[in-house]
Structure 1
Amino acid sequence: MKTKIVTCFLLLSSFLTSAQKLDYSILTIPDSLKQNANAVVRLKQIEINISSQKSMTYKTLSVITVLNEYGLRSLDLGENYDRNNRINKIEAVAYDAFGKELKTYKRKDFKDQSATDDGTIFSDNRVLYLDYTPITYPFTMVYESEIESANTVFIPSWFPMESYLVSTQNTVLTITFKPELKLKIKELNFSDTFPIEKMETPTSVKYTVKNLIAKRPEELAPKFEQLFPKVMFGLSVFSLEGINGNADSWSEMGKWFYDEILNGTNELSEETKNNVKNLVGNEKEPLKKAAIIYKYVQEKTRYVSIQEGIGGWKPMLAKDVDKLGYGDCKALTNYTKALLDQVGVTSYYARLYGDSSKREIDTDIVSFQSNHVILAIPNNNDYVWLECTSQILPFGFQGDFTDDRNAFVIKPNGGEIIKTKTYTESDNLKSVKASYTITEQGNLSGKVHMISKGLQYDDSYSKERASYENQVKAYKEEFSNINNLKIKKIGLTNNSETIEFTEDIELEAEGYAQNSAGKLLFALNAFDQNSYVPKKYRTREFAFQIDRGYTNEAAIEINLPTGFIIEAKPEGITLDTEFGYYKIEFITQTDNKILCQRKMVLKKGFYDKSKYESYRKFRETIAKNDNSKIVITKA
């Protein structure tokens, strides 16, 4: 009798297991979740348990159906680990389209390798990951992991929508914690569009959301995390690499960081102290002294990445950087600061997100939010910012990696959030003065003189260090409207004092003008064309954003071949809109000389989706008029 009961129980268990796996069939996915989707998150269950100031576990169960090869990027089948982050569990099971098990993967099937790039010389960061190659689509992957961490300063943000073109059927986040640790929560982009349920107790918080339909990306849309729900977390009482902390404000966080992380890292040898003092000499102006020190650091050191233990956050000792001649962003910034201290120049260590897309620190939640370090020098009521990892950037220049964003500036008496330099559209100036001649055969020969400032300097100055072949390639891309282009001569001047980059180019091109029955047809604006036109949408869903503004100015002199007269010439146009300004005119100076004058100003801004089509037409009109053509014929 007992045997029969056990047998029946096993058969029932087998049936239930098989039934559960049938849930992985694509036939059970609602059709609405398949629309626009490369993958569907069937279930994402995250459990975070913060049991003490120095102990946190992070459990993940994810069930993702990958519908096609583009959905592969939605699979995250790996975990990072180091001496303070241990992987307790990691496994996966693959199923076919109808829920039939294909293969089970245990820990031994996951690859173990360094989690850093070739530029990192010291690191204990490693990654355990499954290198999965599907044999068919669609398929479903069930992935489970458990991480135990002593670093409670980092609590991952929650994104119920993981990316574009991915639907979410069911996702749940649960955090349990000790009340005395003071969990901080910041919710962003919550709305009726995303029916998120929240349950909260003194020791836990739980978020649940179902049936989020995949969204298509749109050109010029704000960053993903600005559009879709996100929840950020932090603790007032935390631990970082074994160092305890307690901070409810940015000021307290900065004081803790200064005392516990930076303290004792700025010592230098007496020889180095004397050297830098002699180097500065009798100079009294703080910024001039800082410029001397900055150049000294650029010539003496090079950048390497160091991500070992507390070295991921605590800089190398300044005396070690001085001895070895290398360091990462933390070490080189701290070293520069130590040198400036010796010559009486005040400066501050500053953390921010280094990213050309201008990722921001959210000031509403005090937590660790950064990946890069720069140096801030107070200057009257403003700051001069130094990128200490670069051996070539001019003193005080910020490129698009650190411009216009919040920086966490760490001072002896506390921390402060300060905005880095913001460039206006007039700061980001490119000026073109050029002349060219068209021959009777339609060939072009000319000279171009260009000066770039602001972030346009940032876009151009690297040409100076490029090979001649790569310089030629860059100009062929820049003047891609000119077929058969040949670069005859290149002259480059990088003025680090005025932060201007000057380019003098001599060039020629066969057949620039189309020759038909003795008539020549060509675009007068040969060297400053902008052909970009945003994509047209039948129905726009998201707002759009122009991250940075700029100004382009051009004066181009065109010499026509002798014996030709103008049959048809473009009239030019002026546009003055909320997005920017554009004017192009074609002035006949003599019978065989025309001046093309152009100015384009693009404004930084965040715009409602209702204005997108107006902006698109603005850019379409610019592209059309930049390429407007003249017709000349023999007299």
Structure 2
Amino acid sequence: MRPSYLTAAAWLLMQGTAASVAVAGAAPRYAVADMPAALRENAHAVVRLDEQTLVVKSVSRTVETNRRAVTILDEAGADWAMQVVYYDQLNTVSYLRGTVYNAAGQALRQLRPSDVRDYGLSDGFSLASDGRGRAADLRQATYPYTVEYEYEVVSNNPLFYSSWRPQPQEQLAVEKSSFRVVTPANLPLRYQERHLPVGSAAIASTEGTQLVYQWQVHDLVAVDEELDAPPVSELTPAVLTAPTEFEVQGHHGKLTSWQTLGEWTYQLNAGRDELPPAIKARIASLVQGETDERARIRKVYEFLQANTRYISIQLGIGGWQTFPASSVAANGYGDCKALTNYCKALLQAANITSYCALVRADEPDIRTEFPSSQFNHVVLCVPLAKAAKPDTVWLECTSQTTAFNYMGSFTGNRHALLLTPSGGKLVRTPSYGAAENRRERRADVYVDAQGNATASIRTVRTGLEQDRYNFLFHSLDPAEQKKRIADVLPLANFSIAKFSLAPGAPAAVPSMVESLALTLPNFAPPSGKRVFVSANLLSRWASLPATVGERQADIWLDNAFAYSDTIRIHVPAGMKPESLPSPVKLTTTFGSYSSQIQTLADGTLQYVRQLRMPVAHFARTDYPAYVEFRRKISAADKAQVVFVKNES
């Protein structure tokens, strides 16, 4: 699948800025004084004018034009002064123009064609990619100012129609934005409206043989950033569009359902799973005598991981059509489509049926109610034919290190489009909840008479909780791993005496084991004859900041997990606990929490903390109760044990 390109800001900051030329004599436009004052509240930038038009010329060609003027109020909004327009074999940029205005609306600078810089958009892992960008940068040192860009893109890839998102970020207000689609009557537009203000629904009309659809919004105040809020795409207006029919480089398809999209993709890649006889024989030998179906799949998957590597290849129709399996067998590399297709062919050689599945990786789940091309990755789905009850193995074929039958945060907990001979079928990838996403920590803390301490800590992370640490283990050397771990430890004064990171024992979901030996100078400095020790060593939660005004967004808790900490505190014989914090137990719809400290038979104190959070959504009116839940956790996490020294 075609990769997501760098943002305009990231790309231009990497490459430098484009030059521009001063403009004189132009009439004032976009004066800041003319902007409604309410649009400046909580905003870093204000869209003054946004005009987006999509013209469907035929089943195989579209033209998109954009004109957008943005007033940038401060440095945090400066990304809007940059623009990158992407193109490739299937998309051509007709023009890119730009002008910058001062606060009074006087034109300061204007881009010339020679000022627009053209870049190959290499992502660092593509063997071949035709993706490029035309980039401009009109950032100014003095605020506020306004930047206007205009550009046109002619596309021979109408599988993707334009979508309209007039307010794609927080802290961005919109004075006026419009979207217009013109299409032949025999190619009616499919669209979905989301979060539109009253009176902003589509206005449809007919102009000769053309259908015209129009939308417009105005005076949208900035959406403030709020903790545990939905993505901004769930809060602001949008119109998603898609074709009913399309043609890409001679390959015709219909897009009226998930079934038809899957049918087109399946047919595009049909017949590309033939393997050389030598590979077939090798796979037959590999699984010979193995009767367990899951074990046979694992052997084939491990063969794939040991003999291939991921390299992206994105040229024209190659964004959707795979290289043949024989090519991967000969070269040992491929993109996500090619490696998944190759693994499918290997399994077929082992008499196991599997299906490629399109998925949107590393992004929010697709809009299941709006069939359209929303995918950027391919994985493999393997139904178990011999299982006692319906079961499925999922394989990430682009990684040499991803565990067998594990999708993780990259492709788990979402929908995928299964590509079958009869067309596409929406299915769910594996879900990982609190039972799978665990962090279990055990530590022994030894405090001396001077208040210094050492700690021995073993942390086991499973499921989504281990994803980041698995990446560290496989991509960095131990010294860099140690540095990354040190950077996130919530301790003011420490040094790491020993460190190791390693995979845990094989299980249904993978795990990583982190072992630490810490030196903690001045951990619990004496105060007279008393010593105050924080029992919660590494897992303190902060309370939420006070809300200014009324909460605007609902509460979305989208990460389920279960944390468990057991900390044993060892002190010299001359120190005895004077007071212990009371046990705390919280059971709410937001989650559950408990903590308690008890004295063991040998005089050691044992602190046990447990926190379990679900995936759940709550109304914004529940926010005060959620804040109180977090406040109680924070207070319990700060509790200290008071020891008193025996004077004798």
Are 1:610 and 2:621 matched, yes or no?
yes
2:200 is equivalent to residue 196 of structure 1: yes
Structure 1 stretch 222-231 or stretch 445-454: which is displaced more?
445-454
1:390-422: CA deviation from partner (whole Å, max 9, x where unpaired): 111110012111111111111111101111111
Instruction: Answer yes or no: is the 8 Å Cα contact 1:482–1:512 preserved in 2.
Output: no
Structure 2 partner of 1:598: 609
- More divergent stretch after superposition (503-512 vs 144-153): 503-512
Contact 1:354/1:401, CA 8 A, preserved across alignment:
yes
The alpha carbon displacement at 1:264 in A equals 2.4
For the pair 1:221 / 2:222, whether they are aligned, the reply is: no
Cα deviation 1:290-349 (Å, max 9, x = unaligned): 111111111111112221111111122211111111112111111111111111111111
Alignment partners' CA distance in 1, 2:367 and 2:534 = 48
1:135 CA displacement: 4.2
Structure-2 separation of matches of 1:302 and 1:519: 60
Please tell me whether residue 335 in structure 1 is matched to residue 342 in structure 2.
yes
Alignment correspondent of 2:381: 376
Q: Give the corresponding residue for 1:388.
A: 397
1:19 CA drift (Å): 11
Distance 1:212 1:446 in 2: 53
Q: Which residue of 2 aligns with 1:126?
A: 132
Q: Distance in 2 between matches of 1:530 and 1:479?
A: 11
Aligned to 1:532: 542
SS of equivalent to 2:367: coil
Measured in 1, the distance between the counterparts of 2:91 and 2:499 equals 56
Counterpart residue number, 1:6: none
The residue aligned with 1:10 is none
* 1:106 CA displacement: 2.8
Dislocated runs of 4+, deviation >6 Å: 17-20
Q: Distance in 1 between matches of 2:102 and 2:55?
A: 33
| One-letter amino acid of the counterpart of residue 590, structure 2 | F
Q: Is the 8 A contact 2:356 2:419 kept in 1?
A: yes
Cα-to-partner distance string for 1:580-629 (whole Å, 9 max, x where unaligned)? 11111101124731111121111111111111222222222222222311
Rounded Cα–Cα distance in structure 1 between residues aligned with 2:507 and 2:284: 23
Q: 1:500 & 1:113 partners in 2: Cα distance?
A: 41
Aligned residue among 503, 520, 525 for 2:531 = 520
**SS of equivalent to 1:614:** helix
- Cα distance between partner residues in 1 of 2:621 and 2:89: 52
Shift of 1:462: 3.3
State how 1:90-489 maps to structure 2 within 5 Å: 90-192=96-198, 195-202=199-206, 203-259=211-267, 261-355=268-362, 358-379=363-384, 380-465=389-474, 466-481=476-491, 483-489=493-499
Match of 1:627 in 2: 638
Structure 1 pair 491–103 and aligned structure 2 pair: CA distance change class (3 A): closer
- Normalising by structure 1, we get a TM-score of 0.92
The one-letter amino acid of 1:91's match is R
Q: Return the letter of the residue paired with 1:625.
A: A
User: Structure 1, residues 136-177: CA drift from partner, whole Å, max 9, x if none?
Assistant: 322222221111111111112111223211211111111010
Any unmatched runs of 5+ in structure 1? 1-16
Residues in 2 aligned to 1:436 and 1:171: alpha-carbon distance in whole angstroms = 60
How many pairs are equivalent? 613
* Alpha-carbon shift at residue 48 of structure 1 (Å): 0.9
The Cα of 1:449 is off from its aligned counterpart by: 2.6
Amino acid at match of 2:349: Q
More divergent stretch after superposition (118-127 vs 98-107): 98-107
Contact 2:455 2:520 in 1 (8 A): no
Contact 2:168 2:233 in 1 (8 A): no
SS at the partner of 1:21? Answer: coil
Partner SS for 2:374: coil
Q: Which of 30, 49, 57 is residue 36 of structure 2 equivalent to? A: 30
- 3-state SS of paired residue (1:427): coil
1:533 Cα deviation after fit: 3.0
Give the SS at the match of 1:118. coil
Match of 1:7 in 2: none
Which structure 2 residue ranges, 5 or more long, are not aligned? 1-22
Distance 2:543 2:324 in 1: 51
Q: CA deviation at 1:32?
A: 1.4
Deviations 1:4-48 (A, max 9, x none): xxxxxxxxxxxxx99993332112111112222222211111111
Report how far residue 478 of structure 1 moved. Answer: 4.9
Amino acid corresponding to residue 94 of structure 2 in structure 1: N
Query: SS where residue 50 of structure 1 aligns?
Result: strand
Alpha carbons of 1:20 and 1:201: their partners in 2 closer, same or farther (altered >3 Å)?
Answer: farther
Structure 1 distance, partners of 2:218, 2:473, is 53
Task: Name the SS for the 2:397 alignment partner.
Answer: coil
**Distance of 2:452 and 2:433 partners within structure 1:** 39
Worse-superposed segment, 97-106 or 145-154: 97-106
Task: Report whether the alignment pairs 1:558 with 2:569.
Answer: yes
The corresponding residue for 2:519 is 508
- Three-state SS of the structure 1 residue aligned to 2:122 is coil
Structure 1 residue identity aligned to 2:55? N
Shift of 1:425: 1.1
Aligned sequence identity (%): 28
- Partner amino acid for 1:273? K
Shift of 1:485: 3.3
How many Å separate the matches in 2 of 1:591 and 1:254?
65
Paired residue secondary structure (1:400): helix
Tell whether the 8 Å contact from 1:442 to 1:514 is kept in structure 2 after alignment. Answer: yes
SS of the aligned residue for 1:186 comes to: strand
Distance 1:460 1:347 in 2: 30
Letter in 1 for 2:366: I
- The letter of the residue matching 1:576 is T
**Cα shift readout 1:495-547 (whole Å, capped 9, x = no counterpart):** 345523233333332221122223211112224x2323333313211112111
In 2, are the aligned partners of 1:564 and 1:592 still within 8 Å (CA)? Answer: no
User: Structure 2: which amino acid aligns with 1:439?
Assistant: D
Taking the aligned partners of 1:463 and 1:444, their CA distance within structure 2 comes to: 28
CA contact (8 A) 1:446 1:508 kept: yes
Paired AA for residue 196 in structure 1: S
Instruction: Supply the distance in 1 between the matched residues of 2:545 and 2:360 (Cα, whole angstroms).
Output: 30
Cα distance in 1 between the residues matched to 2:504 and 2:600: 34
Kept in 1: contact 2:127–2:312 (CA 8 A):
yes
CA contact (8 A) 2:81 2:139 kept: no
Determine helix, strand or coil for the equivalent of 1:502. Answer: strand
Does the aligned pair in 2 maintain the 1:488–1:508 contact within 8 Å?
Answer: no
For the structure 1 residues 461 and 564, does the alpha-carbon distance in structure 2 shift closer, same or farther, using more than 3 Å as the test? same
SS at match of 1:306: strand
Which of 532, 544, 549 aligns to 2:560? It is: 549
Report the Cα distance in structure 2 between the residues aligned to 1:156 and 1:381, rounded to whole angstroms: 39
1:395 touches 1:496 (CA, 8 Å); kept in 2? no
Q: Give the Cα separation in 1 of the matches to 2:92 and 2:346.
A: 39
After TM superposition, the score normalised by the length of structure 2 is: 0.90
Is the 1:482–1:526 Cα contact (8 Å) retained in structure 2?
no
- Listed one character per residue, the Cα deviations across residues 89-110 of structure 1 (whole Å, up to 9, x for unaligned) are 2211222211222122132221
CA deviations on 1:411-466 (whole Å, 9 max, x unpaired) are 11110111111112122122222322211122222322322222123243334343
Q: 1 CA distance for matches of 2:613 and 2:256? A: 41
8 A contact 2:380–2:395 mirrored in 1: yes
Of 610-619 and 408-417, the range deviating more from structure 2: 610-619
* Cα offset, 1:240, TM superposition: 2.5
